[in-house]
Amino acid sequence: MKKNLFIFLVLAPLIGISLVGLQVYYLIYVDSYSGEERTFEVRRGEGFSSINYRLSREEIISNPRLFHRYNQFKGQLTRFRSGRFHIKPGMTISDISHTLIYGTPITARVTIPEGYNIFQIAELLENNNVVSAESFLSYARNEEYVRSLGIPSTRVEGYLFPETYFFPEEIDAKEAIEIMHNEFKRQTRNVDFESTQFTPHEVIILASIVEKETGATWERPRIAGVFLNRIEKGMRLQSDPTTIYGMYEGWDGRIRRSDLQRVTPYNTYRINGLPKGPIASPGLAAIMSILEPEEHNYLYFVSRNDGTHVFSKNLRDHNNAVNYWQRNPENRQGRSWRDLDQSPHNPANQPQD
């Protein structure tokens, strides 16, 4: 009698509890999602109840009550991250919960090339479904917002570092700008901007011009030297890229003589000194070219139509080079900066004067 009573009062409940425990363990750590690989989006500001309901409705989890109890026990009902996540076959309730809380959301991989301006960056981000170009430009040209970032300009131009970024989904334009600006600050934190007569902002302006003038890495210090020589002599910079930037939103891809006469805060054919602000995103090499320019007596350069340039010390030689390289169709045909050999620094790669 006592033995039966013991089995009834003690042993049976223990067995029952153990079976329940095993079942719970199985449902949490063994039973798994068996559908195809897919993505699941946790919406920004979405509460746990909504997440749990949609996971169940989309048949990613089979037991929403258990999913709730599990995350409640773990104290993580409010820790789910917004974004899109990969859900793979074989993932258990534990795996899914861990992914939505600690996993990295699916991101957009976007490379910002050196020399891109804010208009090109805006288009690139929109094409990669990061943010709309309109929203990006509204902040990029908002002087109050730009100043709040510590940028001494009216635009963020020049202060968004050219790099490959992994932008999380559901990002807004301000966040995208701040990610790129923080990268600029990180990349330039050890740059000695005090080693020159120019302010840090003037260095960035000049670096952005150098970045747009040449695709040949070895030419940057030489071209920087040309602009510094012209400034020292009180000559105008006369840079086509600055002129283009001043009319960029209405530019059709061609620069005409009349464009060079148009007065804008960026047209260095018409204004003395530097343009109003940077005209593109310079890379670190372009910035260093201003701080460590090549010392020479060149005052002019003209494109060879292949990404490199011919440098001249006087206007007569420069005009001869212009006639040979720009006004002679034979020297333009079939040549492109896209064919430029970007091999590491090598004397054989350097254009000869």
Residue 221 belongs to some domain of the structure: yes
Residue 137 has pLDDT above 50, yes or no: yes
Domain co-membership, 332 together with 220:
yes
Sign for the pseudo-dihedral over CA of 82, 86, 87, 93? negative
Residue 208 belongs to some domain of the structure: yes
pLDDT for residue 140: 98
Q: pLDDT tens-digit profile of 164-219?
A: 998 987 789 999 999 999 999 999 999 999 999 999 999 999 999 999 999 888 99
Domain co-membership, 234 together with 318:
yes
Residue 273 DSSP symbol: S
Residue 71 belongs to some domain of the structure: no
Domain co-membership, 270 together with 345:
yes
Q: How many domains does the chain have?
A: 3
Q: Which residues contact 114 (CB under 8 A, 6 or more apart)?
A: 162, 211, 281, 282, 283, 286
Residue 13 belongs to some domain of the structure: no
- 88 vs 293, residue with greater confidence: 293
Domain co-membership, 38 together with 163:
no
**Which CATH number characterizes residue 119's domain?**
3.30.1490
From residue 280, how far is each of 74, 155, 211, 320 by CA, in Å?
A: 49, 11, 8, 30
> How open is the CA angle 223-224-229, to the nearest 5 degrees?
95
Burial degree of 184 (CB within 10 A; 0-12, 13-18, 19+): buried
Average pLDDT over residues 104-118: 91
Q: pLDDT tens-digit profile of 12-26?
A: 455 445 444 444 444
Backbone angle region of 56, left / alpha / beta, with phi > 0 → left and psi within -120 to 50 → alpha: alpha
Domain co-membership, 219 together with 342:
yes
Average pLDDT over residues 2-14: 49
